[in-house]
Structure 1
Amino acid sequence: MKALLMFLLRLFTAGVTTVTILLSSYFGFDQSFLFSSFIAVLGGGAVFYSMKYGTQSQLLRRNGLTKREYKIVQQNLKEAKEKIQRLQKSFFQIQNLANAKQNFETLRVVNKIYHVTKKEPRRFFLVEDFYFSHLDSMVELAEKYTFLASQPAKTIELTRSLHETRNTMNDMVKIIEQDLHKMIEGDINNLNFEIDVAKKFIDKK
Protein backbone atom coordinates (compact mmCIF):
# COMPACT_ATOMS: atom_id res chain seq x y z
CA MET A 1 0.00 0.00 0.00
CA LYS A 2 2.80 2.40 0.91
CA ALA A 3 4.62 1.61 -2.35
CA LEU A 4 1.43 2.33 -4.31
CA LEU A 5 0.95 5.67 -2.54
CA MET A 6 4.55 6.66 -3.25
CA PHE A 7 4.09 5.74 -6.92
CA LEU A 8 0.91 7.82 -7.15
CA LEU A 9 2.68 10.74 -5.45
CA ARG A 10 5.55 10.55 -7.95
CA LEU A 11 3.10 10.29 -10.82
CA PHE A 12 1.07 13.27 -9.59
CA THR A 13 4.16 15.42 -9.02
CA ALA A 14 5.58 14.52 -12.42
CA GLY A 15 2.22 15.32 -14.04
CA VAL A 16 2.02 18.73 -12.40
CA THR A 17 5.61 19.44 -13.43
CA THR A 18 4.92 18.42 -17.03
CA VAL A 19 1.87 20.67 -17.31
CA THR A 20 3.66 23.58 -15.64
CA ILE A 21 6.67 23.37 -17.97
CA LEU A 22 4.41 23.00 -21.01
CA LEU A 23 2.34 26.08 -20.17
CA SER A 24 5.37 28.14 -19.13
CA SER A 25 7.31 27.28 -22.28
CA TYR A 26 4.40 27.69 -24.69
CA PHE A 27 2.80 30.82 -23.28
CA GLY A 28 5.59 32.37 -21.21
CA PHE A 29 8.53 31.90 -23.56
CA ASP A 30 6.59 31.76 -26.83
CA GLN A 31 8.04 28.39 -27.87
CA SER A 32 6.36 26.04 -30.33
CA PHE A 33 3.88 23.54 -28.93
CA LEU A 34 5.97 20.61 -30.15
CA PHE A 35 9.14 21.88 -28.48
CA SER A 36 7.23 22.82 -25.32
CA SER A 37 5.73 19.33 -25.16
CA PHE A 38 9.13 17.74 -25.64
CA ILE A 39 10.84 19.60 -22.78
CA ALA A 40 7.75 19.20 -20.60
CA VAL A 41 7.88 15.40 -20.97
CA LEU A 42 11.62 15.44 -20.27
CA GLY A 43 11.09 17.57 -17.17
CA GLY A 44 8.24 15.41 -15.87
CA GLY A 45 10.23 12.24 -16.48
CA ALA A 46 13.26 13.70 -14.70
CA VAL A 47 11.13 14.58 -11.65
CA PHE A 48 9.49 11.13 -11.58
CA TYR A 49 12.75 9.16 -11.72
CA SER A 50 14.57 11.57 -9.40
CA MET A 51 11.90 11.01 -6.74
CA LYS A 52 12.05 7.26 -7.33
CA TYR A 53 15.84 7.23 -6.99
CA GLY A 54 15.68 9.42 -3.88
CA THR A 55 13.11 7.18 -2.21
CA GLN A 56 15.10 4.04 -3.00
CA SER A 57 18.36 5.62 -1.79
CA GLN A 58 16.69 6.60 1.47
CA LEU A 59 15.38 3.05 1.90
CA LEU A 60 18.83 1.58 1.25
CA ARG A 61 20.48 3.91 3.79
CA ARG A 62 17.83 3.19 6.41
CA ASN A 63 18.30 -0.57 6.03
CA GLY A 64 22.07 -0.49 5.55
CA LEU A 65 21.88 -2.31 2.21
CA THR A 66 23.68 -1.91 -1.07
CA LYS A 67 21.70 -1.66 -4.31
CA ARG A 68 22.80 -5.21 -5.22
CA GLU A 69 21.65 -6.59 -1.85
CA TYR A 70 18.30 -4.83 -2.16
CA LYS A 71 17.82 -6.31 -5.63
CA ILE A 72 18.51 -9.80 -4.24
CA VAL A 73 15.93 -9.27 -1.49
CA GLN A 74 13.28 -8.03 -3.92
CA GLN A 75 13.85 -10.95 -6.28
CA ASN A 76 13.51 -13.47 -3.45
CA LEU A 77 10.40 -11.75 -2.12
CA LYS A 78 8.83 -12.01 -5.57
CA GLU A 79 9.62 -15.72 -5.75
CA ALA A 80 8.49 -16.27 -2.15
CA LYS A 81 5.10 -14.69 -2.87
CA GLU A 82 4.46 -17.23 -5.63
CA LYS A 83 5.55 -20.09 -3.37
CA ILE A 84 3.28 -18.92 -0.56
CA GLN A 85 0.35 -18.85 -2.97
CA ARG A 86 1.15 -22.45 -3.96
CA LEU A 87 1.35 -23.44 -0.28
CA GLN A 88 -1.97 -21.76 0.47
CA LYS A 89 -3.60 -23.51 -2.50
CA SER A 90 -2.33 -26.90 -1.31
CA PHE A 91 -3.57 -26.34 2.25
CA PHE A 92 -7.02 -25.33 1.03
CA GLN A 93 -7.25 -28.54 -0.99
CA ILE A 94 -6.55 -30.72 2.04
CA GLN A 95 -9.98 -31.78 3.28
CA ASN A 96 -8.83 -32.73 6.75
CA LEU A 97 -10.16 -30.77 9.72
CA ALA A 98 -7.56 -32.31 12.02
CA ASN A 99 -4.80 -30.51 10.08
CA ALA A 100 -6.71 -27.30 9.36
CA LYS A 101 -5.55 -25.48 12.51
CA GLN A 102 -1.90 -26.33 11.98
CA ASN A 103 -2.10 -25.38 8.31
CA PHE A 104 -3.57 -22.02 9.29
CA GLU A 105 -0.81 -21.43 11.85
CA THR A 106 1.83 -22.42 9.30
CA LEU A 107 0.51 -19.90 6.79
CA ARG A 108 0.39 -17.25 9.50
CA VAL A 109 4.07 -17.78 10.38
CA VAL A 110 5.16 -17.92 6.73
CA ASN A 111 3.27 -14.73 5.89
CA LYS A 112 4.68 -13.01 8.97
CA ILE A 113 8.24 -13.71 7.82
CA TYR A 114 7.38 -12.47 4.33
CA HIS A 115 5.73 -9.23 5.47
CA VAL A 116 8.44 -8.40 8.02
CA THR A 117 11.06 -8.85 5.29
CA LYS A 118 9.05 -6.71 2.89
CA LYS A 119 8.80 -3.95 5.49
CA GLU A 120 12.43 -4.23 6.64
CA PRO A 121 14.52 -5.76 3.82
CA ARG A 122 17.68 -5.99 5.94
CA ARG A 123 16.06 -8.80 7.97
CA PHE A 124 16.18 -11.02 4.88
CA PHE A 125 19.77 -11.90 5.70
CA LEU A 126 18.72 -13.16 9.14
CA VAL A 127 16.52 -15.84 7.57
CA GLU A 128 18.20 -16.65 4.25
CA ASP A 129 17.65 -20.37 4.88
CA PHE A 130 13.90 -19.78 4.96
CA TYR A 131 13.91 -18.22 1.49
CA PHE A 132 16.53 -20.49 -0.07
CA SER A 133 15.50 -23.83 1.45
CA HIS A 134 12.82 -24.10 4.13
CA LEU A 135 9.95 -22.50 2.20
CA ASP A 136 10.73 -24.64 -0.87
CA SER A 137 10.68 -27.80 1.23
CA MET A 138 7.38 -26.84 2.87
CA VAL A 139 5.72 -26.17 -0.49
CA GLU A 140 6.96 -29.45 -1.99
CA LEU A 141 5.78 -31.44 1.03
CA ALA A 142 2.35 -29.77 1.03
CA GLU A 143 1.87 -30.40 -2.68
CA LYS A 144 2.98 -34.01 -2.29
CA TYR A 145 0.60 -34.51 0.64
CA THR A 146 -2.27 -32.95 -1.32
CA PHE A 147 -1.60 -35.23 -4.27
CA LEU A 148 -1.44 -38.37 -2.13
CA ALA A 149 -4.53 -37.39 -0.10
CA SER A 150 -6.55 -36.91 -3.31
CA GLN A 151 -6.06 -40.53 -4.41
CA PRO A 152 -9.36 -42.47 -4.21
CA ALA A 153 -7.90 -45.81 -3.11
CA LYS A 154 -5.96 -45.67 0.14
CA THR A 155 -3.57 -48.61 0.21
CA ILE A 156 -1.39 -49.43 3.21
CA GLU A 157 1.65 -48.03 1.42
CA LEU A 158 -0.19 -44.83 0.50
CA THR A 159 -1.43 -44.38 4.06
CA ARG A 160 2.12 -44.84 5.35
CA SER A 161 3.42 -42.25 2.84
CA LEU A 162 0.74 -39.79 3.95
CA HIS A 163 1.69 -40.32 7.58
CA GLU A 164 5.41 -39.86 6.90
CA THR A 165 4.82 -36.76 4.78
CA ARG A 166 2.64 -35.22 7.48
CA ASN A 167 5.26 -35.92 10.14
CA THR A 168 7.95 -34.34 7.98
CA MET A 169 5.70 -31.32 7.45
CA ASN A 170 5.29 -31.01 11.21
CA ASP A 171 9.07 -31.00 11.62
CA MET A 172 9.37 -28.40 8.86
CA VAL A 173 6.84 -26.16 10.61
CA LYS A 174 9.01 -26.14 13.74
CA ILE A 175 12.03 -25.11 11.66
CA ILE A 176 10.06 -22.27 10.06
CA GLU A 177 8.90 -21.12 13.49
CA GLN A 178 12.57 -21.00 14.50
CA ASP A 179 13.22 -18.84 11.43
CA LEU A 180 10.61 -16.35 12.64
CA HIS A 181 12.09 -16.37 16.14
CA LYS A 182 15.55 -15.73 14.71
CA MET A 183 14.15 -12.82 12.71
CA ILE A 184 12.56 -11.07 15.70
CA GLU A 185 15.02 -12.18 18.38
CA GLY A 186 16.62 -8.73 18.47
CA ASP A 187 13.22 -7.11 19.05
CA ILE A 188 12.50 -9.52 21.90
CA ASN A 189 15.84 -8.74 23.53
CA ASN A 190 15.27 -5.01 23.18
CA LEU A 191 11.79 -5.34 24.66
CA ASN A 192 13.11 -7.33 27.63
CA PHE A 193 15.77 -4.68 28.20
CA GLU A 194 13.17 -1.91 28.16
CA ILE A 195 11.00 -3.88 30.59
CA ASP A 196 13.95 -4.31 32.97
CA VAL A 197 14.73 -0.59 32.82
CA ALA A 198 11.08 0.29 33.43
CA LYS A 199 10.88 -2.10 36.40
CA LYS A 200 13.99 -0.59 37.98
CA PHE A 201 12.52 2.90 37.54
CA ILE A 202 9.24 1.78 39.11
CA ASP A 203 11.06 0.15 42.05
CA LYS A 204 12.96 3.38 42.73
CA LYS A 205 9.72 5.33 42.78
Structure 2
Amino acid sequence: MKEIQQFFIRHFITAPISFGSWLYFILGAGLNFFAATGLLVAIYFTGNFSIKQFQLMSNLKKLGMTRSEYNHIKVQMKEAKQKVRQLNGLYGKVRSVQAFRQLHEINSLSRKILSIVQANPKKFYHVEKFFYAHLDSAVELTSNYSMLVNQPLKDKDIRIALQNTRETLTDVNKQLEQDLKGALATDIEKLQMEIEFVDSSMKKQKPLLEMKGDTHNDRKY
Protein backbone atom coordinates (compact mmCIF):
# COMPACT_ATOMS: atom_id res chain seq x y z
CA MET A 1 0.00 0.00 0.00
CA LYS A 2 2.83 2.38 0.84
CA GLU A 3 4.52 1.72 -2.52
CA ILE A 4 1.32 2.67 -4.36
CA GLN A 5 1.01 5.85 -2.32
CA GLN A 6 4.62 6.80 -3.03
CA PHE A 7 4.09 6.07 -6.74
CA PHE A 8 1.27 8.61 -6.95
CA ILE A 9 3.24 11.15 -4.91
CA ARG A 10 6.17 10.91 -7.35
CA HIS A 11 4.00 11.44 -10.39
CA PHE A 12 1.92 14.13 -8.70
CA ILE A 13 5.14 16.11 -8.18
CA THR A 14 6.94 15.44 -11.47
CA ALA A 15 3.95 15.78 -13.84
CA PRO A 16 3.12 19.48 -13.24
CA ILE A 17 6.83 20.44 -13.07
CA SER A 18 7.55 18.69 -16.36
CA PHE A 19 4.51 20.13 -18.11
CA GLY A 20 5.23 23.64 -16.76
CA SER A 21 8.82 23.37 -18.00
CA TRP A 22 7.55 22.23 -21.41
CA LEU A 23 5.33 25.31 -21.70
CA TYR A 24 8.24 27.56 -20.70
CA PHE A 25 10.56 25.98 -23.27
CA ILE A 26 8.01 26.58 -26.05
CA LEU A 27 6.48 29.93 -25.05
CA GLY A 28 9.31 31.50 -23.08
CA ALA A 29 12.53 30.08 -24.52
CA GLY A 30 11.22 29.68 -28.06
CA LEU A 31 12.30 26.06 -28.50
CA ASN A 32 10.59 23.96 -31.15
CA PHE A 33 8.02 21.35 -30.19
CA PHE A 34 10.30 18.30 -30.51
CA ALA A 35 13.17 19.78 -28.50
CA ALA A 36 10.81 20.94 -25.76
CA THR A 37 9.13 17.53 -25.67
CA GLY A 38 12.50 15.80 -25.40
CA LEU A 39 13.41 18.01 -22.44
CA LEU A 40 9.98 17.31 -20.89
CA VAL A 41 10.60 13.56 -21.05
CA ALA A 42 14.11 13.97 -19.63
CA ILE A 43 12.89 16.14 -16.74
CA TYR A 44 9.98 13.81 -16.03
CA PHE A 45 12.02 10.60 -15.82
CA THR A 46 14.97 12.25 -14.03
CA GLY A 47 12.68 13.81 -11.45
CA ASN A 48 10.72 10.59 -10.99
CA PHE A 49 13.93 8.58 -10.53
CA SER A 50 15.39 11.10 -8.07
CA ILE A 51 12.25 11.19 -5.92
CA LYS A 52 12.02 7.38 -6.01
CA GLN A 53 15.60 7.10 -4.74
CA PHE A 54 14.88 9.62 -1.98
CA GLN A 55 11.78 7.68 -0.95
CA LEU A 56 13.74 4.43 -0.95
CA MET A 57 16.52 5.87 1.22
CA SER A 58 13.93 7.31 3.60
CA ASN A 59 12.22 3.91 3.87
CA LEU A 60 15.53 2.13 4.45
CA LYS A 61 16.44 4.59 7.20
CA LYS A 62 13.14 3.98 8.98
CA LEU A 63 13.54 0.21 8.63
CA GLY A 64 17.19 0.26 9.67
CA MET A 65 18.19 -1.80 6.62
CA THR A 66 20.80 -1.56 3.89
CA ARG A 67 19.91 -1.36 0.21
CA SER A 68 21.37 -4.84 -0.43
CA GLU A 69 19.24 -6.33 2.37
CA TYR A 70 16.12 -4.64 1.01
CA ASN A 71 16.82 -5.79 -2.55
CA HIS A 72 17.44 -9.36 -1.40
CA ILE A 73 14.13 -9.43 0.46
CA LYS A 74 12.39 -7.94 -2.55
CA VAL A 75 13.73 -10.74 -4.77
CA GLN A 76 12.67 -13.38 -2.24
CA MET A 77 9.19 -11.84 -2.06
CA LYS A 78 8.85 -11.88 -5.84
CA GLU A 79 9.87 -15.54 -6.04
CA ALA A 80 7.55 -16.48 -3.17
CA LYS A 81 4.58 -14.79 -4.86
CA GLN A 82 5.29 -16.78 -8.03
CA LYS A 83 5.28 -19.99 -5.97
CA VAL A 84 1.95 -19.05 -4.38
CA ARG A 85 0.51 -18.43 -7.87
CA GLN A 86 1.78 -21.88 -8.81
CA LEU A 87 -0.10 -23.33 -5.84
CA ASN A 88 -3.25 -21.48 -6.91
CA GLY A 89 -3.07 -23.22 -10.27
CA LEU A 90 -3.29 -26.63 -8.59
CA TYR A 91 -6.79 -26.23 -7.16
CA GLY A 92 -8.40 -27.89 -10.16
CA LYS A 93 -6.00 -30.84 -10.08
CA VAL A 94 -6.59 -32.18 -6.57
CA ARG A 95 -9.41 -34.69 -6.29
CA SER A 96 -10.11 -35.15 -2.58
CA VAL A 97 -11.75 -32.83 -0.08
CA GLN A 98 -8.84 -33.35 2.33
CA ALA A 99 -6.24 -32.39 -0.29
CA PHE A 100 -8.29 -29.35 -1.35
CA ARG A 101 -8.55 -28.22 2.27
CA GLN A 102 -4.80 -28.68 2.78
CA LEU A 103 -4.04 -26.68 -0.36
CA HIS A 104 -6.39 -23.91 0.77
CA GLU A 105 -4.71 -23.75 4.19
CA ILE A 106 -1.25 -23.63 2.61
CA ASN A 107 -2.33 -20.78 0.31
CA SER A 108 -4.01 -18.87 3.11
CA LEU A 109 -1.05 -19.14 5.48
CA SER A 110 1.44 -18.27 2.74
CA ARG A 111 -0.50 -15.16 1.68
CA LYS A 112 -0.74 -13.97 5.29
CA ILE A 113 3.01 -14.37 5.79
CA LEU A 114 3.78 -12.54 2.56
CA SER A 115 1.38 -9.75 3.51
CA ILE A 116 3.14 -9.29 6.86
CA VAL A 117 6.60 -9.20 5.28
CA GLN A 118 5.33 -6.85 2.56
CA ALA A 119 4.19 -4.40 5.22
CA ASN A 120 7.38 -4.77 7.29
CA PRO A 121 10.38 -6.23 5.38
CA LYS A 122 12.31 -6.74 8.64
CA LYS A 123 9.85 -9.54 9.45
CA PHE A 124 11.63 -11.53 6.73
CA TYR A 125 14.31 -12.50 9.23
CA HIS A 126 11.67 -14.06 11.50
CA VAL A 127 10.41 -16.34 8.70
CA GLU A 128 13.50 -17.13 6.62
CA LYS A 129 12.75 -20.88 6.69
CA PHE A 130 9.41 -20.14 5.03
CA PHE A 131 11.15 -18.51 2.06
CA TYR A 132 14.10 -20.88 1.83
CA ALA A 133 12.48 -24.25 2.58
CA HIS A 134 8.88 -24.54 3.77
CA LEU A 135 7.15 -22.89 0.81
CA ASP A 136 9.30 -24.88 -1.64
CA SER A 137 8.32 -28.11 0.16
CA ALA A 138 4.64 -27.16 -0.05
CA VAL A 139 4.84 -26.46 -3.80
CA GLU A 140 6.81 -29.62 -4.58
CA LEU A 141 4.61 -31.91 -2.51
CA THR A 142 1.36 -30.46 -3.82
CA SER A 143 2.62 -30.65 -7.43
CA ASN A 144 3.66 -34.28 -6.97
CA TYR A 145 0.35 -35.11 -5.32
CA SER A 146 -1.67 -33.54 -8.15
CA MET A 147 0.42 -35.45 -10.70
CA LEU A 148 -0.04 -38.81 -8.93
CA VAL A 149 -3.74 -38.39 -8.21
CA ASN A 150 -4.44 -37.79 -11.92
CA GLN A 151 -2.74 -41.00 -13.03
CA PRO A 152 -5.20 -43.55 -14.47
CA LEU A 153 -3.30 -46.34 -12.72
CA LYS A 154 -4.09 -46.59 -9.01
CA ASP A 155 -2.04 -49.52 -7.76
CA LYS A 156 -0.96 -50.09 -4.17
CA ASP A 157 2.30 -48.13 -4.48
CA ILE A 158 0.55 -45.03 -5.81
CA ARG A 159 -2.12 -45.18 -3.08
CA ILE A 160 0.58 -45.45 -0.44
CA ALA A 161 2.50 -42.54 -2.00
CA LEU A 162 -0.66 -40.40 -2.04
CA GLN A 163 -1.39 -41.17 1.59
CA ASN A 164 2.21 -40.37 2.61
CA THR A 165 2.05 -37.11 0.67
CA ARG A 166 -1.18 -36.06 2.40
CA GLU A 167 0.36 -36.80 5.78
CA THR A 168 3.50 -34.85 4.91
CA LEU A 169 1.39 -31.91 3.71
CA THR A 170 -0.24 -31.89 7.14
CA ASP A 171 3.22 -31.50 8.65
CA VAL A 172 4.00 -28.70 6.18
CA ASN A 173 0.81 -26.90 7.24
CA LYS A 174 1.99 -27.06 10.85
CA GLN A 175 5.36 -25.62 9.82
CA LEU A 176 3.62 -22.75 8.03
CA GLU A 177 1.52 -22.08 11.12
CA GLN A 178 4.73 -21.80 13.14
CA ASP A 179 6.14 -19.44 10.50
CA LEU A 180 3.05 -17.24 10.81
CA LYS A 181 3.42 -17.22 14.61
CA GLY A 182 7.06 -16.22 14.16
CA ALA A 183 6.04 -13.34 11.89
CA LEU A 184 3.51 -12.13 14.48
CA ALA A 185 5.67 -12.76 17.55
CA THR A 186 7.07 -9.23 17.91
CA ASP A 187 3.63 -7.69 17.31
CA ILE A 188 2.12 -9.89 20.03
CA GLU A 189 4.94 -8.96 22.43
CA LYS A 190 4.45 -5.27 21.66
CA LEU A 191 0.69 -5.55 22.18
CA GLN A 192 1.21 -7.38 25.46
CA MET A 193 3.60 -4.67 26.66
CA GLU A 194 1.04 -2.00 25.77
CA ILE A 195 -1.68 -3.89 27.64
CA GLU A 196 0.54 -4.24 30.70
CA PHE A 197 1.41 -0.54 30.54
CA VAL A 198 -2.27 0.43 30.36
CA ASP A 199 -3.13 -1.94 33.22
CA SER A 200 -0.30 -0.52 35.31
CA SER A 201 -1.42 3.06 34.59
CA MET A 202 -5.02 2.24 35.49
CA LYS A 203 -3.94 0.65 38.77
CA LYS A 204 -1.91 3.74 39.68
CA GLN A 205 -4.80 6.06 38.87
CA LYS A 206 -7.43 4.03 40.73
CA PRO A 207 -6.20 4.84 44.29
CA LEU A 208 -6.04 8.53 43.38
CA LEU A 209 -9.62 8.44 42.09
CA GLU A 210 -10.75 6.64 45.25
CA MET A 211 -8.99 9.24 47.44
CA LYS A 212 -10.69 12.07 45.57
CA GLY A 213 -14.02 10.32 46.00
CA ASP A 214 -13.46 9.89 49.74
CA THR A 215 -12.54 13.56 50.15
CA HIS A 216 -15.67 14.60 48.30
CA ASN A 217 -17.82 12.39 50.52
CA ASP A 218 -16.16 13.74 53.69
CA ARG A 219 -17.07 17.28 52.66
CA LYS A 220 -20.68 16.28 52.22
CA TYR A 221 -20.82 15.02 55.78
Normalized against structure 1, the TM-score is what?
0.90
Give distance in 1, aligned partners of 2:95 and 2:163. 15
Q: Cα–Cα, structure 1 residues 143 and 16, in superposed 2: closer, same or farther, change >3 Å?
A: same
The residue aligned with 1:125 is: 125
Larger Rg belongs to? 2
Q: Cα–Cα, structure 1 residues 145 and 17, in superposed 2: closer, same or farther, change >3 Å?
A: same
The residue aligned with 1:16 is: 16
1:11 Cα deviation from its structure 2 partner: 3.0
Correspondence list, 1:1-205, <5 A: 1-204=1-204, 205=206
What does the per-residue CA deviation read over 1:144-167, in whole Å, with 9 as the maximum and x for residues that have no partner? 111111122321111111111111
Give distance in 2, aligned partners of 1:36 and 1:154. 71
CA contact (8 A) 2:103 2:142 kept: no
1:92 Cα deviation from its structure 2 partner: 4.0
Secondary structure (helix, strand or coil) at the match of 1:173 reads helix
Letter of the 2:184 counterpart: I
CA contact (8 A) 1:117 1:123 kept: yes
What does the per-residue CA deviation read over 1:138-195, in whole Å, with 9 as the maximum and x for residues that have no partner? 1000111111111223211111111111111111111111111111111111111222
Letter of the 2:101 counterpart: K
Uncovered stretches (5+) of structure 2, i.e. residues with no partner: 207-221
Uncovered stretches (5+) of structure 1, i.e. residues with no partner: none
CA contact (8 A) 1:91 1:142 kept: no
Q: Cα–Cα, structure 1 residues 39 and 82, in superposed 2: closer, same or farther, change >3 Å?
A: same
Give distance in 1, aligned partners of 2:190 and 2:119. 19
Q: Cα–Cα, structure 1 residues 31 and 99, in superposed 2: closer, same or farther, change >3 Å?
A: closer
Letter of the 2:117 counterpart: T
Q: Cα–Cα, structure 1 residues 196 and 12, in superposed 2: closer, same or farther, change >3 Å?
A: closer
1:78 Cα deviation from its structure 2 partner: 0.9
CA contact (8 A) 2:106 2:138 kept: no
What does the per-residue CA deviation read over 1:90-116, in whole Å, with 9 as the maximum and x for residues that have no partner? 244212123433332221111111111
Identity over aligned residues, as a percent? 29
1:12 Cα deviation from its structure 2 partner: 4.1
Give the alignment's Cα RMSD to 1 decimal.
2.0
1:24 Cα deviation from its structure 2 partner: 1.4
